[in-house]
Chains A and B, each alone.
Chain A
Amino acid sequence: MVTRLMNWFDDRLPLTATIERHLTKYPAPINMNIWYLAGVLLVVVLVIQLASGIWLLMNYEPTAEGAFASIQYIMRDVEYGYIIRYMHTTGASAFFALIYLHMFRGMMYGSYQKPRELLWVLGWITYVLLCALGFTGYVLPWGQMSFWAAQVIMSLFGSIPYIGEDLLTWIRGDYLISGITLNRLFAFHVVLLPLALIAVVFVHILALHEVGSNNPDGVDVKKYKDEDGVPLDTKPFFPYDVMHDLYAIGVFLIFFVTIMFFYPDGGGYVIEYVNYEAADNLKTPEHIVPSWYYTPFYAMLRAVTFPLFGLSAKFLGFVVMAAGIAIFVALPWLDRSPVKSIKYKGVYSKFFLALFVVSFFVLGYLGTVTSTPGRTIAAQIFTVTYFAYFFLMPIYSKYEKCKPVPERVQLG
């Protein structure tokens, strides 16, 4: 019966072939470690966000007059509405935490190198889409921080020479942030960006299954195959990885649920305290800070305090900030190293990667606090070291002395 049903489908759709290719026979390297979990957890969070988002949408009111009250309506009057909302807010933070781990994994093990350049670029696009989703979603509750964060971020477009002011008005749809702006961000957040995200994630996974997963040793597992043509150092994704991932998802959800049910504000990082006040265009909050996941880039924006070549400091800061996000996409072409994994790269690669991580965290911290002269200098130094990792990479990765890469993967 089942066989006949499958045959019926297989004649009309490559069902069995697809399942085998992507699940039951997808060869995953046996030496994958904990860093490889971020990817599957990202898919879990994507599903959480889509599901909770749809339910939020059922009760949210996208108007400047009603948005803030409708969130409180969800929190108080909708049955279990608070669970749905906290799921979505916690999910947003989890999304970024995981994608940063996922990106760092790629940087550590050289997962962007040939033949995975396109895979990396697609991943980078999902990151940019996620940033856009995070920003647009952040504005929707229409609290004080929503409003003023939108004000600050959108005003950056106004700093572009010549066309800035007109561009800004065009983007806002108004002369200031208003209900019209809210409506368009709403449309982006619930239709355009999620659609694009799902599409790109889908292609990202397709591309992954075409080139195969990298591994902590950065060796090509397809080099040695058994008589059936299955790479020796791999295991089928189902059941081995699925069982492993199920366990990992359980552990992840324990953390997730703990935040969601017991610390939904996340100490002001998941939901900002200032956002407990409805948007008021006449009252500027004392400190305007973005969500924690943008703070490294916000610190870069503020680090540029001097005009140059007739361009305003604000515009240059905007350029530096955008470059901080954009530069990741160039990694496959900046890395000239003959080896992939940091395990076998030379000491300079290790040093600069460590420097990058330190810079990212320090900038992240600096982005959450008010600026003082000392902090501005710190932000400038770490912005330089952040970019040093990327811009010096063609040099240090080419000339450093690497360790010999083993033929097969190493276990234990």
Chain B
Amino acid sequence: MKLNLLFPSLIICLFGLSISLNINAASGAPCGNYLSEDGLVKGECDEAYVDANDKASLQRGAQIYMNYCLGCHSLKYARYKKVSEDLEIPLDMFQDNLIFGDQKMGDLIQVGMDPKEAKEWFGNTPPDLTLEAGLRGPDWIYTYLKSFYIDESRPLGVNNKVYENVGMPHVLIDMQGTPRSVCKQIPLLADNGGIKQDPLTGEQLSQEKCGFLEVDGGTGELNPKEFDQAMLDLTNFLAYMTDPMKVERESIGTYVLLYLFIFTMLSYLLYREFKKDLH
């Protein structure tokens, strides 16, 4: 038996076995009760197209963060100075507009709130968010930020589709407007994927489905599209926070790879020369 045939056949065996034992069961829904726009998928996050090179988006995200989030959520592993450098925000402008209180440019980004009091107010100390995008992933954060809705049964009057019964208030409600969880009629799908029709009248059938998010028109400073973009900027900023070296890292990596390709090519040629002696 040829050994190079052994491995493809092993891999095929592996797949066969895993299917037959049903060990590839789907994992849980990452985004809780969040409904997709067409109402067909529950728990899938919206994709956040983060881009570490989009400085304008990162700057807008930083602005939102410093104004709305930093009151409770620290970024205690990062320093103001590095943020201002990486995001290309001039030092004095950064100092005047994005640093509050008596913190210095070289300081770590802390909150003034006492963690003990915060726990009393919200039931839990608001977590540090420096590494949140690494822990949850940008998609989760993006979807979470868009998923608050009015729920009078909760102590703070709001709830979240992604993170059920979260202790966080809807800080961005002025920006977004009043979001509500509503029911909608959605088309009933047939087994073949098309819309089910009434066999007698030919009318398209629909069903009621609840859990959609809708913002009361005219209540927010931003329209829904602008709000989504603002949340994407904020997500982008948090993704940058987790991995601030991404741009530099990938640029260095490209040069290292280039060098290695040349090195490998030359060493291959050298090896080929020596190999000629052997046979």
Contact = CB atoms under 8 A, between A and B. Distances in A.
Interface of A: 30, 69, 72-73, 75-77, 82-83, 86, 108, 235, 239-240, 243-244, 246-247, 249-251, 253-254, 257-258, 260-262, 264-265, 273-274, 276-277, 342-343, 347, 350, 354, 357-358, 361-362, 365-366, 369, 372, 374-375, 377-378
Nearest to A249: B267
Contact of A374 (B6, B23, B130): B23
Contact of B267 (A246, A273, A342, A374): A246
Given A244-B274, A261-B252, A273-B137, 15 more contacts: A76-B79, A77-B82, A83-B249, A239-B274, A243-B267, A244-B275, A247-B270, A254-B257, A254-B261, A254-B264, A350-B6, A357-B10, A358-B13, A358-B14, A369-B23
B192 interface: no
Contacts of B242: 276
A81 B97 CA distance: 30
B256 interface: yes
A250 B244 contact: no
Given A250-B260, A261-B253, A30 B82 contact: no
Contacts of B122: none
27 contacts: A69-B76, A75-B245, A76-B77, A76-B79, A77-B79, A77-B82, A83-B252, A243-B267, A247-B268, A250-B264, A253-B260, A253-B264, A254-B261, A258-B253, A258-B257, A264-B249, A273-B135, A276-B131, A276-B242, A343-B3, A347-B1, A350-B1, A354-B10, A366-B23, A369-B23, A369-B27, A374-B21
A343 B1 CA distance: 7
A391 to B, nearest CB: 21
Interface string B240-279: 0010110001101110110011011001101100110110
Given A82-B249, A83-B249, A240 B278 contact: yes
Contact of A243 (B10, B13, B18, B274): B274
State the main secondary structure of chain A at its contact with B. Answer: helix
B108 to A, nearest CB: 9
A381 to B, nearest CB: 8
Nearest to B242: A276
A246 B253 contact: no
Contacts of A361: 10, 14
A277 B18 CA distance: 32
B10 A276 contact: no
A365 B18 contact: yes
Nearest to B81: A77
B277 A240 contact: yes
B51 to A, nearest CB: 16
User: Which of B135, B268, B271 lies at the interface centre, i.e. has the most chain A CB atoms within 10 A of its CB?
Assistant: B271
A76 B137 CA distance: 19
A108 B3 contact: yes
A89 to B, nearest CB: 13
User: Which of B22, B137, B250, B256 lies at the interface centre, i.e. has the most chain A CB atoms within 10 A of its CB?
Assistant: B256
Given A247-B268, A257-B260, A354-B6, A276 B79 contact: no
Contacts of A347: 1
Nearest to A72: B77
Contacts of A254: 257, 260-261, 264
Contacts of A251: 264
Contacts of B137: 273
B25 interface: yes
Contacts of A342: 3
Interface in B1-52: 1, 3, 6, 9-10, 13-14, 17-18, 21-23, 25, 27
Contact of B271 (A235, A247, A365): A247
CB-based closest 5 A-B pairs: A261-B253, A250-B264, A276-B134, A72-B77, A276-B135
A29 B82 CA distance: 55
B64 interface: no
A276 B128 CA distance: 11
A265 B137 CA distance: 12
A76 B78 contact: yes
A377 B242 CA distance: 39
Contact of B134 (A273, A343, A374): A273
A227 B102 CA distance: 85
A251 B267 CA distance: 10
A358 B3 contact: no
A45 B18 CA distance: 33
A378 B23 contact: yes
Interface string B128-149: 0011101111000000000000
